[in-house]
Structure 1
Amino acid sequence: MGDQGTFWLPDGASTIAPEVDSLFMFVTWVSTILFVGVVLAMLYFAIRYRRKSPGDRPQPIKESKILEISWIVVPTILVLLVFNWGFKSFVKMGVAPPNAYEIRAEAWKWNWRFTYPNGTTSQDLYVPVNQPVKMKMSSQDVIHSFFVPAFRVKKDVVPNRYSQVWFEATETGNFDVFCTEYCGTAHSDMMATVKVVSQSEFNEWLESGGGATDDMPLPELGELLYEQQGCQTCHSMDGSPKVGPTWKDLYGKPNHPMADGSTVTADEDYLKEAIVEPGAKIVEGYQNVMPASYSSLSERELAALIEFMKANSQYAEDGSGS
């Protein structure tokens, strides 16, 4: 992956990027030339036709039909050129090749989940290099937007309907994914990574189900899920408040205050319920914004997340928890 790019754009890493960049630079340079021309003309006229004495009157200027026709015809030609150029690229970006590999993308506040044809899911997007990929996208809550600057693709992700975008990566490496529709408190943290790998590496990753975790110890699996499932977006591990309560020293915490005035001990039963049914008990000072999508986690995954919390809690270490 290149790091240089241009003053305006990062290095292009998709088949559509050169077309987008060419049109962008054409519009930029034409606009710059016209801007400089207008400013210079204004300065010239201000000096050439300035009033030199109180009684001085400017001489009447006869209109020029050639000039009037020029400033109508030339902008019209430029507009038609840009429209034709842009429309061709727009159509190309909207129609995926027949051999495109389809991946489903789900967005919610404030995470991404990518699902592959064999059922594998991941928070980061894995794709093979030099292979057209079609993203079929939907949102669970509000409008989000899938934007990969290096690929020059951007598409809104809308609730209750599907939208799609496609790209073909031309370089291996890691590329940033941003949400570019403001979607709430942690909008700026709603990021992911496109990991472009060789076809053989992608096949191996896909066959392993996104990485073998069957033999992984529960705390390590929990830490992995904390990253993969986007838990870090709302829950810190250093005690700092985010959209949701911090996970530091959460496991076993006594007298954990709820919004209804009650308190609970943050034991295994409470933590499991908080993940699977986040609206059942709301922590004091926080809103019910956690999606219900985590109810699809397996029992092993739930246990792993709880063990990860336990490994980072003083209440578990000193035995004061349940």
Structure 2
Amino acid sequence: MNSPFSLPEASTHAVTVDRIFYLLLVLSGATVVLVFGLILLFAVRYRRGSSAKRGPMPEFLRREFEIGWTLATLLSFVFLFWWAGSADLSSLAAPAGSLEIHVVAKQWMWKTQHPSGAREINALHVPLGQPVHLLMSSQDVIHSFFVPAFRVKQDVVPGRETDIWFQASKLGVFPLLCAEYCGTDHSVMRGKITVMRPEDYARWLVQQPEGDDLAHEGAKLFVSQGCSGCHAGSSNVHAPRLAGIYGRMVQLSDGRTVKADDGYIRDSILQPKRDVVAGYDAIMPSFKGLLDDGELQSLTAYIRSLAEEGSHD
């Protein structure tokens, strides 16, 4: 049961974060009590006119005290650093099989899209107990996706894709905020996340208006923007084939090797001459300013969907 002075623990992240917070709070409180207790004790014991001995501390006691205090402080710091660091690192990579939802931030709203194509504005419905992986981008300035009850916060930066994941552990409706000042109406950039039972979420999803999923939208863009003219399997242009490339290591013309992940694909679309694939000429034009962040997400989702196709070649 939550007290009126604490936030609900509504995700698996929240439990770990709160444990670290409360441990730090207890240690900080104990340190304050110890230091101020010693100050008070010495102020009273060694006040002017008292009969307390004021000679120097024996050398062996002084050495043992300094070593003990230093070791205790060092070990406490190492333990806290290891615990907090391991908890933070373990929350970076989304588990396999996570529900992938795309989020686009703009002044002053959150736009979300489910794998089925269902869209929401300033709202997000998710199933209880299932990891949810959010792929996020901004159409204008820096925003920050913040859900206090989940203890998750991630900056959403224009020009790049960021991600975060969580697993809701409590049913209910929880506030979604922007935690980065983003302009005049920053304070009204709010939303809500509704956590539902899996069966209720499935029913809600079926009731939403039908729409193409991101991969299908990306496939249409792939043709309408002329990408298929060079990268399709039937093209005569000497350009890299995209089937199965996602997730693989790519050899570049300058000798470097990079992984074809979301960031690499985005950079290849916006800055094609920066990472040229070995054996190919730098003839691809830049699409910077021609595609918005939502369209970049759709194209990336389409190329990601080609990974299975490539694995059967």
TM-score range, shorter-chain basis?
0.5 to 0.7
Residue equivalent to 2:304: none
Separation in 2, partners of 1:6, 1:48: 42
Residue equivalent to 1:198: 197
Separation in 2, partners of 1:46, 1:71: 21
By how many angstroms is 1:48 displaced? 1.6
Separation in 1, partners of 2:54, 2:71: 29
Separation in 1, partners of 2:8, 2:102: 26
Q: Give the letter for the 2:132 counterpart.
A: V
Residue equivalent to 1:69: 67
Instruction: Sort the Cα spacing of 1:210 and 1:194 in 2 relative to 1 into closer, same or farther, 3 A.
Output: farther
Q: 3-state DSSP class of the match of 2:12?
A: coil
1:182 and 2:187 aligned = no
Q: 3-state DSSP class of the match of 1:94?
A: coil
Q: Give the letter for the 2:17 counterpart.
A: V
RMSD: 2.4
Residue equivalent to 2:272: none
Unaligned runs of 5+ in 2: 211-291, 296-313
Task: Give the 5 Å matches for 1:9-20.
Answer: 9-20=6-17
Deviation digits for residues 38-67 of structure 1 (CA, Å, limit 9, x no counterpart): 0111111112222229xx995344451111
Instruction: Sort the Cα spacing of 1:66 and 1:57 in 2 relative to 1 into closer, same or farther, 3 A.
Output: closer
1:143 and 2:142 aligned = yes
By how many angstroms is 1:200 displaced? 2.0
The TM-score, its normalising length taken from structure 1, stands at 0.61
Unaligned runs of 5+ in 1: 212-292, 297-322
Alpha-carbon contact 1:51-1:57 (below 8 Å) kept = no
Separation in 2, partners of 1:11, 1:210: 32
Instruction: Sort the Cα spacing of 1:57 and 1:170 in 2 relative to 1 into closer, same or farther, 3 A.
Output: closer
What stretches of structure 1 move > 4 A for 4+ residues in a row?
A: none
By how many angstroms is 1:125 displaced? 0.7
By how many angstroms is 1:119 displaced? 1.7
Moved more, 199-208 or 129-138: 199-208
Residue equivalent to 2:94: 96
Across the two proteins, how many residue pairs are aligned to each other?
209
The TM-score, its normalising length taken from structure 2, stands at 0.62
Separation in 2, partners of 1:196, 1:47: 57
Indicate which of 44, 54, 59 corresponds to 2:55: 59
